[in-house]
Each structure stands twice: as C-alpha cells, then as structure tokens.
Structure 1
Amino acid sequence: MSAFASKSMLAVVTLAGALGLGGCATKSYVREQIEPVSQRVGVLETRLQETDGTAKSALAAAQAAAGQAQNNSQRLDQLGSRVDGVEQRLTVQEQKRAKRPRH
C-alpha cells in the first residue's frame, strides 16, 4: 500500500470515528430533553386520576339512583294495587246505594 493510500485511509477512519462519536448524547442532555415531556406526562396522569375518581363517583351515584328508582317503582305498583282495591270497594258501595229503595 502506498503512503498516500495509508494517509487517506487514516483520514477516512478518523473522520468516520469523529462523526460516529459526535452523535452520542450525554445523560444530562437526555434528561434536559426528557424533563418537559416527563412533566407533561405527570400532569396528564394526575388529571387522569382525577377524572377516574369523578367517573367512579358518578357511577356510584347513578347506581344509587337506579336502586332508588326501582324501589320507587315497586312502591308505586303497591300503591296502584291499593288504589284499585279502594276503587272497587267504592264501586260496590255505590252500586248498593243505587239498588236501595228510597223512602
């Protein structure tokens, strides 16, 4: 190999090494770049937890309301039956009065 080829090869290897090593990031640089993203993720996680808590509270309230509505529906059914019974008795009494002769 000639002296020119050796020097050229050495220059190419040196240049390739410099370019290759220049791309490495330091830990502090990576931390600086990641910190804003990490903070945003933290804020979003907090908001997600708050939203999750709100959703769970709303679900519990909705389930309680559904249970109360079911109880109210059962009570209305019972009252409806009682009203039907009272109406039947009134109808019978009215029919008895209508059949009685007046003096």
Structure 2
Amino acid sequence: MILVGSIGVSGCATKGYVNREIATVNSRIDGIDGRVRTVEGTSGQALSQAQAAAGQAQQNAQRIDQINGRVDGLDQQMQQQMQRRQRKPRG
C-alpha cells in the first residue's frame, strides 16, 4: 500500500512546478504574439503602399494613353503635310 501511494504521489506535479511551466510557455506566447503584431503592422503598411502605387500606375497609364493619342494625331498631320508637299509640282 505504501509502495502504491508513493508511486501515485511522485507522479503528480506540484502547483508551483505547473505554474512555473505555464509562466514559461506564456512568456513565449507573449513574445510570439508581439512578433505577429509587428508583422501584421508591417504587412498592413506594405498593402497600403502597394494599393497607392497601383492607383498611381493606373493614373500614369491613362495619361500615357492620352499622350499616345495626341502623338498619333500629330503624326497623322505630319504625314498628310508631307504627302501634300510631295504632290505639288515643282517649278
């Protein structure tokens, strides 16, 4: 009976031991939680910057399309003027 009782008691953890182990685990969790929050903040900033850059790129693309239209129009005018000059007889 004493043997069975001593085995049962020695297999149990004390409250102090459990509390120390839980404190260790909790401190590790807190550290990881802090790192996760930092990563979330950084990723949020990166997302905002990427969205702003995408918006700016879209505006730039629209401006380039407008400029291309103007350049094409000027090119056509130049081609027409050159054709008119070539048609005029010299002399």
**Which segment is superposed worse, 38-47 or 89-98?**
89-98
Give the drift of 1:74. Answer: 1.6
Structure-2 separation of matches of 1:37 and 1:65: 42
TM-score by length of 2: 0.85
| 1:17-40 CA distance string (max 9 Å, x none) | 121022222222111122222211
In terms of Rg, which structure is larger?
1
Distance in 2 (alpha carbons) for counterparts of 1:33 and 1:99? 97
Counterpart check, 1:46 vs 2:15: no
Matched with 2:3 is 15
Task: Identify the residue that residue 49 of structure 2 maps to in structure 1.
Answer: 61
Cα offset for 1:78? Answer: 1.4
What displacement does 1:95 show?
2.0
Identity of aligned residues (%): 46
- For structure 1, the 5+ residue unaligned runs are 1-12
* Structure 2 residue identity aligned to 1:17: G
How many residue pairs get aligned? The number is 91
TM-score (norm 1): 0.76
Extract structure 1 runs of 4+ deviating beyond 4 A: none
Cα deviation code 1:41-88 (max 9, x no counterpart): 111110111011101111121121112112211211111011000111
